[in-house]
Amino acid sequence: MELPEPSRPGANYVPFIRSGGLLFLTGQLSQWNGERRFVGKLGGEFGLEEGRQAARLCALNLIAHLRDALEGNLDRVRRCVRVAGFVNSMPEFTGQSQVVDGASDLFVLLFGEAGRHTRLAIGVAALPYGVAVEVEAVMEVE
């Protein structure tokens, strides 16, 4: 699986923080190596399948940061605890949960049963730089 280069913070925050056995990963946008993709709204410029692709791209960015946090060793992941997805959507769009499945499915594919997690999937009026999706995660690690 090819991963993008981990992004650098664009404001006053860090990409991840470890507290005990939990690793909190900052929300990642639908971008590849700094190139923003899927700029627009679900139910406007994009449909459900494109939204799923955008969420998967966010998850790839999360995994890139996770790999950095664990010094290249993803075998140290015990489980994916929680995923939160924010979907830039038109008021009439109600497929936020299906969009965030793009990220959830990737975590399950990569980590198997340990990739199953609790989740939040909500629609928002806007996201940074106008991207379609942002996803954050909490992982249990050793």
Banded model confidence at residue 6, pLDDT cuts 50, 70, 90: very high
pTM: 0.96
In a domain, 6, yes or no: no
Share above pLDDT 90 across residues of the chain, in percent, rounded to a whole number:
97
In a domain, 76, yes or no: yes
- Write out pLDDT tens, residues 60-75: 999 999 999 999 999 9
In a domain, 82, yes or no: yes
Number of domains into which the chain is organized: 1
Stated as kind and residue range, the H or E segment containing 14 is: none
- Write out pLDDT tens, residues 29-84: 999 999 999 999 999 999 999 999 999 999 999 999 999 999 999 999 999 999 99
Q: Are 141 and 73 in contact (CB under 8 A)?
A: no
Which residues span the domain enclosing 68? 19-141
Which structure tokens are listed for 58?
A: 């966010």
Burial of 56 (0-12, 13-18, 19+ CB in 10 A): buried
| Per-residue confidence (pLDDT) for residue 31, from 0 to 100 | 95
In a domain, 12, yes or no: no
Say what angle helices 48-69 and 96-111 make with each other, to 10 degrees. Answer: 40
CA–chain centroid gap for 103, Å, is 6
In a domain, 13, yes or no: no
In a domain, 11, yes or no: no
Asked whether the predicted pLDDT for residue 1 surpasses 90, the reply is no
In a domain, 7, yes or no: no
CA distances from 7 to 30, 44, 63, 111, 134 (A): 11, 27, 11, 22, 13
CATH number of the domain bearing residue 72: 3.30.1330.40
